[in-house]
Structure 1
Amino acid sequence: MTRWHILTALLCGAVLAISRDTGQFGWLALAACVPLLVMALRAPRPRDVALLLFVPAWMGEAGPMWFYGRLLPMVYGLAVAQALVFMLAALFMRALYRRFPAGVAPLGFAAMLAAIDYLHSLVSPNGSFFALGYTLVDVVPLLQTAALAGVAGLSFLAAVIPAGLAILYVRPRDLSGTLAWSVPVLAVLAYGVWQLAQPAGPTVRIALLSDDRYAGRVFNHPEAAPEVAAAFARQVAAAAAHAPAAIVVPEKILAAGTVLAPPAGSVIVAGLDGPAPQGGRLNIAALYRPGAPVDTYLKKRMVPGYEADYVRGTGELVTRLGDVHAGIAICKDMDFAQDLRLYGRRDVGLMLVPAWDFDRDAYLHGRMAVVRGVENGFAVARSASQGLMTLSDAHGRIVAERRTAHDPGILVGDLPTGRGGTVYSRIGDVFAQVAVAAWLVLLALLAWRWRRVQDRPARRM
């Protein structure tokens, strides 16, 4: 371990800190990983490079630790776990490189990281949070891979590209090693360009409302419920001048039982909070339509440590905006691909999402919802207290966006809807399951080869 290696690792860690799991500059993570993987490939022994891999990977989790550390201390343990996974994956790639054709190494590295992201999402109370694939959310042509393979496909791409570049640097004349990873990347890039050229569904006008002065007010001060309701009734009246098809009000901003009058030709989806009749609390998205009873959607996925006493929902809610099927979900629900796939299978073209972020994580968490839209072919209209108001189309392009503040805010935009029914929404996590199988097979082959090497001296004796 030389001084140059240490400086390189720290520089890579600094770049990862502003890209990995921050929601911004994610594409920089692709470049930052290349020197680390080159060092892993060239190291004489695994122990010579293990720390050089772990430290910058841990630095790359600076975003989540900054966003959530003071609120959810478990994030520090998750950051260590993420760094260990990267270190082990890089050492796995090194082992493959030394025992198989060069092209196997980047594919194995990517399969391992995609597999672990997928397995983690199945058991984590945070769903697909921390998945490597979110680094590609602003690389829109590659983002279209989510419509085929979900966020696991994005994680595979985000790993195979730097791993392949590392192989190319170490073995520049190995054509088969280069083709093994570059052909799949170019294929999905061509698919992404083609997908972006496809026509969108009907355009609908959406109004997103916010006012951070009232975030959490009805929970901490129930007596303020009439004041908050009156404030948002005024915002609804102001939004009516824009003739929106739908108005979205943030999560838990109004008290349960609040009645809002939607303008003619509009619906309102508003976040409500209140006690449940059987005990605990309810986190509700209420759907108000002119001349119709109020429908309600109950949040399914709760924030660990903050919403333990909330009653979980079990169903979906779909309405119509003209010719478009519109689904409703709440904030953290959008972190769980398997739940949103249920809307994709119903050919929903638009999701209306009340949300409430942690301020610092606004970009990161909002972009996760964008990925759900690409996975399932629907546009997303998300209005978050202490976060972002975002309109994104079914290809993940941001149509309009605005930061919330401590005053009334409105974002109005004409949003092209999606057509629903992507490959991913139909077949689910098949790609992720193939990645798990490929990783396990390569592990077994490595173990078999290692055992053969260990047995050779004994046979000679």
Structure 2
Amino acid sequence: MSDLKPVSKALLGAGVLLAGICWYLSFSLSTHIWWLLWVAPVPILYFSLRVSSKWAFLIAFTGYLIGRLSWVPYLQSVMPLPLTLMFTLLFPLIFALQVIAARKLMLSYRHWSTVFALPVLVTTMEYITCLTSRDGTAGSIAYTQCDFLPIVQVASLTGIHGITFLVTFFPAAVAFIIYRYQRKQSIRTLSLVTLGILLAVMVWGVVRLNHTSPAPQSLRVAMVAIDKQAYRRKDTTGEDREAYLANLYLGRVGELAKQGARMVVFPEKMFTVGDNRRTGFIQQFKDTAMAHHVGIVACVTQQKNDYYENRAWVIGEDGALLADYQKVHLFAGEFLDSLKPGKEPGLFLRNGTTEGVAICKDMDFQQDISRYGNADCSVLYVPAWDFERDGWLHSRMAIMRCVEGGYGMVRNARQGRLTINDYCGRVLYEANSDKGTPALLSGNIDIQHHTTLYNKWGDWFSLLNAIAALVSLLLLGYPGVRSGRER
């Protein structure tokens, strides 16, 4: 065994800066450089094995903090400054503690398998956060990988937490291999395991992406988002404003139908409708659907006596009301606006096939959206409303639910992204309405369900990680093996 020279502060600083920049760009809501997340932790994890626990905590916290700064402008746009500061500091603190725990296990127990300590701890913490947070899976680092389609396919087996495990395991393995090699310890088994896992994952991803099976039917769909200035007109108020907005949207249906559309999806909260006018508006949408022989998904805010509901009406080509879905997951502002959540999934039959509708934030929650996959849903229609800066991210979060559930999706977002994707997470068509500008998108989507292991077994991988994390924490209380043959 060889003793390594102490690490200079200059080298530590360079490593922290490199890691921070890589994290910053990989977390960014505008750059989407997925591969940097595989690189960022390597210098931090390597140096953590060579410095004291205090220094390890400091470099892990600092590097991750630099990375999380990329979210500060977005967080400031959706929450108060104190909460922005809290979230910006909380994630680096948690990561630094995880690095300290993994470091202790890797140095105390000389076995190569301790490389799994960090990915197990990170994955478990993320899983617990996703289960308990009112924002669901919004904080998962897995979404940074949405452009890396072979890795994305892992979600069909394990859910998104399998991706989180991989992007944490690989840099931990690289750092540990370098460290053991420099200390003249065996790296053969660790290297083979690392390469074996990556090879298996990539093969599975490529095979799934290239698997072709003829779809029973293909549907031509279309979406339209109107100019946000239409909502700011001062010469229309109250019921006149509702009618004006409804007519703006419905006025495009005929044009889209002539282009071949058989289903038109509108964005979230097209307008607010009083309970007394609900029937009249539904009939207007039914008449338009029958006139053009096209299905319509319309999403409105429905006013009750002293509260509101966010509802999506699905109307068939024959004018039948196929679904009247109430949004299940509301964001904080909607609670403040006296909205009440629904409880049931928006499943319905269209032409003998099970299809579904969900609204915006619903797609952030794995457990609820898994009900669509379990019901053999073949396509999901999603009216949405993003916050401009998060248009790309929020659309990709929704797309990941499709990979987990095995179906395609048509998503129309005000001030966000209009997307049509398949069950593998491939974006087939996309338009941008981030700035509130008008947008139009049409394309074909296969109406077909693909069974996934995640649908069948649920959070099996996350629970397995939770068990392993508990074992890891118990082992922290033991002194470990500090002498004897290296393994």
TM (norm. structure 1) is 0.92
Of 40, 56, 76, which residue of structure 1 is paired with 2:85?
76
1:208 aligns with 2:223: yes
**CA deviation string 1:45-94 (max 9, x = no partner):** 11012121112212222343221223213243222221112112222221
Of 53, 58, 67, which residue of structure 2 is paired with 1:60?
67
Moved more, 260-269 or 340-349: 260-269
Q: Secondary structure at the match of 1:97?
A: helix
Q: Name the larger-Rg structure.
A: 2
In structure 2, what is the equivalent of residue 347 of structure 1? 376
1:5 aligns with 2:12: yes
Of 331, 348, 355, which residue of structure 1 is paired with 2:360?
331
**CA deviation string 1:212-238 (max 9, x = no partner):** 4168669x9544211111110112222
Counterpart CA distance in 2 for 1:180 and 1:281 is: 54
CA-CA distance at 1:337 after TM superposition: 0.3
Counterpart CA distance in 1 for 2:229 and 2:354 is: 30
Counterpart CA distance in 1 for 2:88 and 2:294 is: 44
In structure 1, what is the equivalent of residue 41 of structure 2? 33
Counterpart CA distance in 2 for 1:217 and 1:281 is: 21
- Contact 1:327–1:352, Cα closer than 8 Å, also in 2: yes
Of 212, 221, 227, which residue of structure 2 is paired with 1:199?
212
**CA deviation string 1:160-203 (max 9, x = no partner):** 11111212222345111223333222212211111112225343
Counterpart CA distance in 1 for 2:463 and 2:407 is: 24
**CA deviation string 1:295-330 (max 9, x = no partner):** 311001111234342111111122345464221000
In structure 2, what is the equivalent of residue 458 of structure 1? none
1:227 aligns with 2:254: no
In structure 1, what is the equivalent of residue 342 of structure 2? 313
CA-CA distance at 1:204 after TM superposition: 1.8
1:237 aligns with 2:267: no
Counterpart CA distance in 1 for 2:75 and 2:312 is: 25
1:49-128 equivalences under 5 Å are 49-73=56-80, 74-128=83-137
Q: CA RMSD in A?
A: 2.3
Consecutive unaligned residues in structure 1, runs of 5 or more: 454-461
Change (3 A) 1:51 1:215: farther
AA of the residue aligned to 1:267: G
- Contact 2:270–2:301, Cα closer than 8 Å, also in 1: yes
Counterpart CA distance in 2 for 1:46 and 1:215 is: 58
Change (3 A) 1:129 1:42: same
Counterpart CA distance in 2 for 1:215 and 1:96 is: 59
Of 266, 281, 292, which residue of structure 1 is paired with 2:320?
292
Change (3 A) 1:435 1:411: same
Change (3 A) 1:143 1:168: same
Change (3 A) 1:275 1:155: same
CA-CA distance at 1:159 after TM superposition: 0.7
Counterpart CA distance in 2 for 1:130 and 1:340 is: 17
Moved more, 325-334 or 268-277: 268-277
Q: Secondary structure at the match of 2:444?
A: strand
Counterpart CA distance in 2 for 1:133 and 1:407 is: 30
AA of the residue aligned to 1:340: I
Counterpart CA distance in 2 for 1:144 and 1:3 is: 40
1:283 aligns with 2:310: yes
Counterpart CA distance in 2 for 1:158 and 1:273 is: 40
Counterpart CA distance in 1 for 2:341 and 2:292 is: 32
Counterpart CA distance in 1 for 2:111 and 2:258 is: 62
CA-CA distance at 1:355 after TM superposition: 0.3
In structure 1, what is the equivalent of residue 3 of structure 2? none
Q: Secondary structure at the match of 2:331?
A: coil
Counterpart CA distance in 2 for 1:389 and 1:244 is: 15
CA-CA distance at 1:156 after TM superposition: 0.6
1:175 aligns with 2:188: yes
CA-CA distance at 1:354 after TM superposition: 0.2
Counterpart CA distance in 2 for 1:350 and 1:282 is: 24
Q: Secondary structure at the match of 1:251?
A: coil
Q: Secondary structure at the match of 1:327?
A: strand
Q: Secondary structure at the match of 2:310?
A: strand
AA of the residue aligned to 1:122: L
CA-CA distance at 1:102 after TM superposition: 4.8
Consecutive unaligned residues in structure 2, runs of 5 or more: 1-7, 483-487
Of 411, 414, 420, which residue of structure 2 is paired with 1:385?
414
- Contact 2:415–2:437, Cα closer than 8 Å, also in 1: no
Moved more, 47-56 or 355-364: 47-56
Moved more, 147-156 or 17-26: 17-26
1:22 aligns with 2:29: yes
Moved more, 367-376 or 50-59: 50-59
1:254-273 equivalences under 5 Å are 254-256=271-273, 257=278, 258=281, 259-260=284-285, 261-262=288-289, 264-273=292-301
CA-CA distance at 1:350 after TM superposition: 1.0
Of 344, 349, 358, which residue of structure 1 is paired with 2:387?
358
Moved more, 221-230 or 158-167: 221-230
